[in-house]
Amino acid sequence: METINGKKRIFYGWYIVAVCFLMMALIYAPMVSAKGLFVPAILKELKFATSAYLLTSTITSLVGVSVAALLGKLYSKKHARIVLFTCITGISVCFGMYSFAYTLTQFYIIAFFSGLFFGGATLMPVSILITAWFQKQRGLALGIAFVGSSVGAVLLSPIIGKLLVSVGWRHTYQYLAILMFCVLAPLVLIVIRQKPADKGLKPYGFGETVSSTKKSEAEWNASLKELKSLPLFWVFLFGASSIMLTGGVIVHIPSFLIKSGYQTADAALFVSIYSFVAIFGKIALGRVFDKLGARSGIIFGNGLFILSIVSLFFIKIRIMMYVMAIIYGFGTCIGTVTIPVLTARIFGPKNYGEIYGVVNTFAQLGGAFGATIIAIFLDKTGTYNASWIFVIALAAVMTIALLYSAAAGFKKIESKEKAENLNSTV
* Structure letter (DSSP) for residue 201: -
Tell me what pLDDT residue 8 has: 74
Determine phi and psi for 9, rounding to 5 degrees.
-150, 165
Flag whether 16 is in a domain. no
| Domain containing residue 286: CATH number | 1.20.1250.20
* Structure letter (DSSP) for residue 3: E
d(CA 265, CA 258): 10
d(CA 248, CA 219): 35
* Structure letter (DSSP) for residue 311: G
Q: What is the CA radius of gyration of the chain?
A: 21
First-to-final CA distance of the chain? 44
d(CA 206, CA 134): 8
Domain with 349 in it: 21-199+213-420
Question: Which amino acid, residue 305?
Answer: F
Number of other CB atoms surrounding residue 291 within 10 Å? 10
326-384 pLDDT per residue, tens: 999 999 999 888 998 898 888 877 777 778 888 988 998 888 788 888 888 888 888 89
Flag whether 108 is in a domain. yes
Q: Residues 6 or more apart from 159 whose CB is under 8 A from it?
A: none
Flag whether 5 is in a domain. no
Residues lower than pLDDT 50 in the chain: 209-218
Flag whether 13 is in a domain. no
Flag whether 9 is in a domain. no
- Structural domains of the chain, count: 1
d(CA 329, CA 133): 28
Flag whether 7 is in a domain. no
Q: What is the pTM of this model?
A: 0.75
Flag whether 226 is in a domain. yes
Flag whether 204 is in a domain. no
Number of other CB atoms surrounding residue 263 within 10 Å? 11
